[in-house]
Structure 1
Amino acid sequence: MSHPAGIGSVKPVNWAYDRAPMIIYWELTTACGLACRHCRATAQPDPAPGELTTDEALGVLDEFAGFGSPAPHVIFTGGDPMRRGDLDQLIAAANQRGLGVSLAPAVTPLLSAQRLKDLKALDVQAISLSLDGSTAAHHDGIRQVPGTFDATMQALADANAAGVPVQINTLVTDETAKDLDDVYELLKNYDVMQWSLFFLISVGRGSQLRELTPGDAERTLIKWGKIGRTSPFRIKTTEAMQYRRINAQAMMHAGKTREDVENSPAARGFGIRDGNGIVFISHLGEVMPSGFLPLSVGNVKDRSIVELYRDTELMRQLRRPEEFKGRCGVCEFDRWCGGSRARAYAWTGDPLASDPLCPYVPEKMREHDLSVA
């Protein structure tokens, strides 16, 4: 899940999150009742040995104070965070420490209408639900559990009734892209805070599916960027940072200056990417730039999350886009976009390489007739 609308604001021109991340994704458990084809966590029915205990988790929450103000927003995810017996205690503890909390639950019988009311009472700021198709045939084919589509739509209706803001996440692959129009039309019937188009990263079970080609991805992003200007809910992307470049280009073509773009509402997402505004804590306490960039920089059992985010070399490198390689390293949109570091790593083994999903040729390469390989 990405950060809920309203969290964060337009940032300075350097778009660097050196002091603190905006969002901490915390995988409380890998236990889950589903077996989705694209699961990053390769979730399983039962909790894995070695998951952080309640006391260890509370200690980590204490350390978040070291980031200073404003504090990061915490998103409890999994697996299914609803499978943690201490979830309510951890939500309450985060709130007591001044941390905003959102939740990314799996749609199982644990996510009942009453449970959503309870989450609202616990001051959970938002939840995310995954909807990967406009029909049961499409969605359940991805989720691998019959009835999940109907349960997801019921959970969305129940969340609306409980007053819990909802982000919908939809997987974008060569298989699901053609169904996005129908998903959009379906969502217009509900109260949706934002719709996040998650462009597949081939990690975990996601390696079973196929990503869009760069050309198809570009056309898809251009299309939804246009629709997003009049949509009843915000449309954003996950692991398709070039969406920011595409929207910025559209604004500039309409006569806006770079300063206008930087001060527009669209700029609130600029610069945020793995390790720069985002950090991930695994169920075992390993700290990574994101769940889709599985390179550990250390463990919260051994070092402060503040140190691991601020001071480890990989994290520092991910906050220096001018040192990225290939096209991403010379792109004039580097600080606004920066490319998917997770996809670069998944394809090349190098998190600083160019994002292979982006076909854009930077001005410097065009001016000097340099190779775009």
Structure 2
Amino acid sequence: TLHQLGLLKPLSFVQWLVTNRCHFRCAYCEASAGEARPDELNTREAEALIDDLALLRTRLLFSGGEPLMREDLPHLIRYAHDKAVPVGLVSNGFLVPSLWPRLREVPWFLFFTSLDGPADYHDGIRAPGSFDRVMRSLELFARHQTPVLLVNTVVHQDNLALLPVLHEHLRAHVPTVRWHLTPVMAVGRNRQAAYRLDADNLRELAMFVRQFDRAGGLRVAWGESHSYLQPLLGAGGGKPFFCGAGLTRCSIMPDGSVVGCHQAYDPTLTEGNIRQQSFSHIWRHGFARFRPRDLPAVCAGCAQAPACGGGCWAEMQIRGHCWKPILDLDAGNADGTNLL
């Protein structure tokens, strides 16, 4: 396998959804976050997990839900730092300014947050003042010399036309961030695909990515799970795509279940639970469905397959195909949009 050949780093990072709790109820939340689950890992179990990650010499990305709503998170952040486990944070940013005295105590390798659009639109979806809190959070982590600052925008039909306004704001106020544009996926609260994009929307988004990238002053790219679209649409650099789910990264759910990718979470896709086995054991002996990863049958004959490697694993589980059949309308697929 690629691991045995030494061609891949064994484990780049682990994303741990520390809680399902969140004060927002975004309509397209992939985690369907809201109330905390009754079976979430307790502090002692979390410490044992961090001890195990320290032995693997990997990085830990705290996410959720909204991870900062977990009361013991400041302790777990410090605990991970003391165990020499590099930490990153995926947060909606709302609580960052008020908790900054604790958050600033450790170095961070990454801060990942979200903006739905310009201030009025973002605040209408989240809460009044939330846009300004995200911007303040980015400023704080930037001053803290956090190496990677990521802003993700989940793109759907309601906010597609607002992207140029948001681009100008980010470019003017936080030009050091990386801005990822991620087409909405039919997961979580958006499982019925109410916010879905069609082929024309996707081409318009590709035009924006090219336009923003050429404008300079701000690094703009497809969201990680959709960067396989780069060679298809000629936007965002055209670099080969690699999905690391189950190969170089994985996720841990709030109850301790280990999965290759939380975006397509399904109990049948669980590799194990750290309450029954150590994470390191699960990582070394699970994930057979990912290792080695053969291209799906639907990819046979696709000229882009060598570059994209089958695209996003989660999207393949959700829809059974990537965006290529939808975009390839010139190849006798006039009804491609129905594949959505």
**TM-score, length-scaled by structure 2:** 0.81
2:165 to 169, 173, 182: 182
Q: Kindly indicate whether residue 145 of structure 2 is the aligned counterpart of residue 173 of structure 1.
A: no
After TM superposition, list the pairs within 5 Å mapping 1:110-189 onto structure 2: 110-112=95-97, 115-136=99-120, 138-143=121-126, 145-164=127-146, 166-189=149-172
Quickly say closer, same or farther: Cα 1:163–1:117, change in 2 above 3 A: farther
Q: Determine helix, strand or coil for the equivalent of 1:38.
A: coil
Give a deviation string over 1:141-179, Cα, whole Å, max 9, x none: 433x33322333333344445544531111111222221
Quickly say closer, same or farther: Cα 1:21–1:211, change in 2 above 3 A: farther
Residue equivalent to 1:198: 182
Give a deviation string over 1:175-220, Cα, whole Å, max 9, x none: 2222111111110122343111122111111236322124532452
Stretches of structure 1 that go unaligned for 5 or more consecutive residues are 1-10, 252-260, 348-352, 367-371
Q: Kindly indicate whether residue 86 of structure 2 is the aligned counterpart of residue 84 of structure 1.
A: no
Residue equivalent to 1:299: 273
Equivalent residue letter for 2:275: K
Give a deviation string over 1:295-337, Cα, whole Å, max 9, x none: 322111112323433433xx33335443322027855444644
Distance 1:135 1:346 in 2: 32
1:322 to 269, 290, 294: 294
Give a deviation string over 1:227-262, Cα, whole Å, max 9, x none: 3255323223132132343487997xxxxxxxxx8x
2:25 to 27, 35, 52: 35
Equivalent residue letter for 1:311: H
Q: Kindly indicate whether residue 315 of structure 2 is the aligned counterpart of residue 343 of structure 1.
A: yes
Is the contact between residue 152 and residue 179 of structure 2 (CA under 8 Å) also seen in structure 1? yes
Is the contact between residue 63 and residue 306 of structure 1 (CA under 8 Å) also seen in structure 2? yes
Residue equivalent to 2:34: 44
Q: Determine helix, strand or coil for the equivalent of 2:250.
A: strand
Q: Determine helix, strand or coil for the equivalent of 2:24.
A: coil
Higher relative contact order structure (alpha carbons within 8 Å, sequence separation ≥ 6): 1
Quickly say closer, same or farther: Cα 1:112–1:197, change in 2 above 3 A: same
Distance 1:235 1:26 in 2: 26
Identity of aligned residues (%): 23
Quickly say closer, same or farther: Cα 1:28–1:245, change in 2 above 3 A: same
Distance 2:234 2:281 in 1: 34
Quickly say closer, same or farther: Cα 1:63–1:189, change in 2 above 3 A: same
Q: Using the TM superposition, give the Cα deviation of residue 221 of structure 1 relative to its aligned residue in structure 2, in angstroms.
A: 2.9
Aligned-residue Cα RMSD (Å) equals 3.3
Distance 2:220 2:110 in 1: 16
Quickly say closer, same or farther: Cα 1:335–1:140, change in 2 above 3 A: same
Distance 2:184 2:252 in 1: 20
Q: Using the TM superposition, give the Cα deviation of residue 340 of structure 1 relative to its aligned residue in structure 2, in angstroms.
A: 1.8
Give a deviation string over 1:342-365, Cα, whole Å, max 9, x none: 122222xxxxx422466466xxxx
Q: Determine helix, strand or coil for the equivalent of 1:146.
A: coil
Equivalent residue letter for 1:146: P
**TM-score, length-scaled by structure 1:** 0.74
Residue equivalent to 1:3: none
1:58 to 47, 71, 76: 47
Stretches of structure 2 that go unaligned for 5 or more consecutive residues are none
Equivalent residue letter for 1:51: E
Is the contact between residue 218 and residue 358 of structure 1 (CA under 8 Å) also seen in structure 2? no
Q: How many residues align?
A: 322
Distance 1:244 1:318 in 2: 23
Distance 1:249 1:151 in 2: 31
Distance 1:162 1:168 in 2: 17
Distance 1:211 1:357 in 2: 16
Residue equivalent to 1:257: none
After TM superposition, list the pairs within 5 Å mapping 1:350-361 onto structure 2: 353-356=320-323, 359=326
Quickly say closer, same or farther: Cα 1:153–1:198, change in 2 above 3 A: same
Is the contact between residue 15 and residue 336 of structure 1 (CA under 8 Å) also seen in structure 2? no
